[in-house]
Amino acid sequence: MTWHSWRRAFLTAGAAVVGFDPSTRTWVTGAAQSQGMVDLPPLKGKVVTDPASRGQAADDFGHLVHRTPGAVLEPGAVSDIMLMMKYCRTHSLQVAARGQGHATFGQGQVAGGLIIDMTPLNAVEVREDTAVVEAGALWSSLAQATLAHGLTPPVFTDYLELSVGGTLAVGGLGGQTHHHGAQVDSVVELEVVTGEASLRRCSAQLRPDLFRAALAGRGQCGIITKATMRLLPAPATVRHYLLSYPSVAALTADQRRVVNDGRFAYVEGELGLPTGSAGWSYQLEAVAFFNGTTPPDDARLLDGLGDQPGDRQIQDMSYFDFLNRLAAGVAYLKSTGEWYRPHPWWNMLLPASRTDAFVEAAIKDLAETEVGASGVVLLYPFPRARLHLPLLRLPDEETVFLFTLLRTASPGAESPQDMVEANRSLYLRAQAVGGYQYPVGSIPTTPEEWRTHYGPAWAAFEAAHERYDPDGILTPGQGVFPPGP
Ligand SMILES: Cc1cc2nc3c(=O)[nH]c(=O)nc-3n(C[C@H](O)[C@H](O)[C@H](O)COP(=O)(O)OP(=O)(O)OC[C@H]3O[C@@H](n4cnc5c(N)ncnc54)[C@H](O)[C@@H]3O)c2cc1C
């Protein structure tokens, strides 16, 4: 028995893919032999075409866009990604990585090509003050691994069950961003499989063009396989503050004040939809870290703030419980089914000087049917100077606000299509006041508009794309560069 026939017989047992037939442009499983087939390279993992795997890869958290890939790679090692990238390049097949599939508008999908399921590549190694993390690892696993050493990544997204590669591909913003930038700003080195199928290390010193094009680069130049990230000492405990305000302007004034003086470790904010006879509510969420028995000084932290003192909610919790604070809510949304409904999300970054007026106008007549029963409206600022990566585009002002309408197409709410249309028109209004899209939402955007979005960063981005993905096979669902032939 030759190596190839042995391997084919072995793989046939699991109905895994054994090759691709360029003449019919179909993947061939062991069960269905094909004359024109080109054998797959020897892999440590496998390529599958079963309906469940392809169906999952044709969906995401948005449930709005569905493109079915021809096959899914379950890599057994990074070398599988290199080998399959080369194979796909040879056969003009498009490729995209899938972390946790929490994009909302098909950003990680490909029609007919190959999806790389990053979940098997999830190792985390904690060194002195850095973590070396495979891209498929979840932020929850990274948090637990680093906390075991008394350390923490500087910035977390609100939800921890996202992949490290998935958030580094977009930026990664959170309540610690006003101190430490986006998650991409904590990365000191990356390992990337480029679209030319080379495994490259890169950093601010080594291949800086690739480093800058991979971080917040939406998978346009390579698949991030590993990141080395800066860590900080972790607090044991946090004090969590919810402060209430009578208006957008009152909320944002205090948010700017506390973000500028840096008195809290974490600052976000949420706008609550009107309920009953009550109108909108405006809440500042902040956190102070502490260790041992010395609690934070409330008087100092709340000094000079214009919130409604009678409505203050203050509680202490462990640092991990704070990071993982969405878990109970997510379990509830799963139990009611809301978690699985379409999510036409709208996420924009606004210049501070235009934020109050823009937000007031955006929510003025906004009804619950337009954001859904479990819709969330977030609003919080950070100083632009804390963010250093060119592809995370930001308004040209000292302070920037993240404003999001996290819509859910609940029963009785507007249709997902109407919500996507509303996203588009609100995006144009935000753009007109100097806003930039944070590209995780569901806003139809043309390649020309992406070009404008990248502005002065476009030339370097395009050059890196041409250099590292010369055949244009990578991550077409982002719609940034026209796909190759
Ligand atoms: C409930 C929820 C809460 C969220 N909270 C926040 C938040 O607080 N802050 C914030 O900034 N964002 C937040 N997001 C948005 C989230 O960060 C992005 O949608 C992120 O891309 C999702 O990660 P993922 O692992 O699911 O990626 P996927 O959806 O699998 O992929 C997203 C994109 O990245 C590409 N990609 C994935 N892995 C890699 C890789 N290894 N190399 C190159 N490209 C890759 C994919 O091809 C795709 O184009 C939230 C999303 C959800 C659903």
Give pLDDT tens digits for 307-329.
999 999 999 999 999 999 999 99
- The residue type of 325 is R
Strand partners, 189: 203, 228
Phi-psi region of 455 (alpha: psi -120 to 50; beta: other; left: phi over 0): left
Mean pLDDT rounded to a whole number for the chain = 95
pLDDT of residue 485: 64
Element (H, E) at 465: helix 458-468
pLDDT in tens, 91-119: 999 999 999 999 999 999 999 999 999 99
The protein residue whose alpha carbon is closest to atom 23 in ligand 1 is: 166
Could you say which DSSP state residue 163 is in?
Answer: B
pLDDT at 6 over 80: no
pLDDT at 26 over 50: yes
pLDDT at 122 over 80: yes
Orientation angle between helical segments 458-468 and 447-454, nearest 10 degrees: 120
Q: Closest by alpha carbon to 110, among 165, 67, 56?
A: 67
pLDDT of residue 11: 42
Instruction: Give ligand 1 pocket residues (Cβ under 6 A).
Output: 60-61, 96-103, 107-108, 118, 135, 157-159, 162-163, 165-167, 169-174, 218-219, 223-224, 440, 475, 477-478
HSE-up (13 A, CA, CB side) for residue 106: 16
Within 8 A by CB and 6+ apart from 237, the residues are 289, 290, 291, 316, 317, 318, 319
Q: How far apart are CA 108 and CA 58, in angstroms?
A: 9
User: What is the average per-residue pLDDT within 253-257?
Assistant: 98
pLDDT in tens, 35-92: 889 999 999 999 999 999 999 999 999 999 999 999 999 999 999 999 999 999 999 9
SS3 28: strand
pLDDT at 219 over 50: yes
Percentage of residues in the chain with pLDDT exceeding 90? 93
The protein residue whose alpha carbon is closest to atom 12 in ligand 1 is: 172
Q: How far apart are CA 165 and CA 136, in angstroms?
A: 6
pLDDT in tens, 344-396: 999 999 999 999 999 999 999 999 999 999 999 999 999 999 999 999 999 99
Q: Which atom of ligand 1 is nearest to the CA of 97?
A: 47
> Which pLDDT band, with edges at 50, 70 and 90, does 484 fall under?
confident
> What tokens were used for 420?
């996507």
Q: How far is the CA of 174 from the centre of ligand 1 (A)?
A: 13
Give CA separation, 13 vs 7, 8, 19, 29, 260, in Å.
10, 9, 15, 10, 61
pLDDT at 184 over 80: yes
Domains of the chain: 3-117 (3.30.43.10), 124-233 (3.30.465.10), 238-325 (3.40.462.10), 337-469 (3.40.462.10)
Could you say which DSSP state residue 90 is in?
Answer: H
| Mutate-to-test residue for ligand 1 from 170, 343, 348, 377, highest number of ligand atoms within 8 A of CB | 170
The protein residue whose alpha carbon is closest to atom 15 in ligand 1 is: 440
Q: How far apart are CA 218 and CA 216, in angstroms?
A: 6
Q: How far is the CA of 364 from the centre of ligand 1 (A)?
A: 30
pLDDT of residue 276: 81
pLDDT of residue 469: 98
Q: Let me know if 424 is exposed, middle or buried by CB neighbors in 10 A (0-12, 13-18, 19+).
A: middle
Q: How far is the CA of 127 from the centre of ligand 1 (A)?
A: 25
> Which pLDDT band, with edges at 50, 70 and 90, does 9 fall under?
very low
